[in-house]
Amino acid sequence: MKTPLWNSSNDQPKATRTAMIELLNQQLADALDLGLQSKQAHWNVKGPAFIALHELFDDAAATISKFADEIAERTVALGGFAQGTVQTIAEGTRLTAYPLHILTGYEHVQALAAALAHYAESTRTAIETATKTGDAGTADLFTGISRDIDDLLWKVEAHAATKS
Ligand SMILES: [Fe+2]
């Protein structure tokens, strides 16, 4: 979604910043949805691994909230407007809607792992796009997020791992 700019003195070309702002806002919508999905899992999970998963899903939400904040703030640092309202999340997210009535640890692990894997993939694409567009700072931000997401996906998936 295109948004206007404010008169920042950031020296990068306007076309670069506009492209990055659009990319950042897309990743922000997905990240905010992902954070809410982690909270949904945190609140509703049940079963023998309750306490481990309850705490893991809350840690995931905290990590996601931290980098969503960094994405939003880079959007503004580049001269854009961060779009983090409920309406922009609902309109912009590319994640599958989190199931409302799943219950067991296994179900929540599967649902959240799928969302994390989707976000990991789009983050890797975002690194590539930022690199090709010539914004090393945004590429670096997404690179750090990519490592965080890989780490979270491992910790969630470890609860349902089998030999492949
Ligand atoms: Fe809580």
Give the closest residue to 20 by CA, choosing from 146, 129, 95, 147: 129
Query: pLDDT averaged over the chain?
Result: 97
- Region 144-160: mean pLDDT is 97
40 CA to middle of ligand 1, Å? 10
pLDDT at 18: 97
Query: Distance, CA 90 to ligand 1 centroid (Å)?
Result: 23
> What separation in Å is there between the alpha carbon of 162 and the centre of ligand 1?
29
Angstrom CA distances, 76 to 61, 121, 142, stand at: 23, 24, 16
Query: What confidence tens digit (pLDDT) does each residue in 83-104 have?
Result: 999 999 999 999 999 999 999 9
Q: What is the pTM of this model?
A: 0.96
From ligand 1's centre to the CA of 56, what distance in Å? 11
Could you tell me the distance, in angstroms and rounded to a whole number, from the CA of residue 55 to the centre of ligand 1? 8
pLDDT computed for residue 33 by the predictor? 98
d(CA 109, CA 158): 9
**Residue 23 burial (CB count, 10 A):** 21
Contact 70, 58 (CB under 8 A): no
DSSP of 106-131: HHHHHHHHHHHHHHHHHHHHHHHHHH
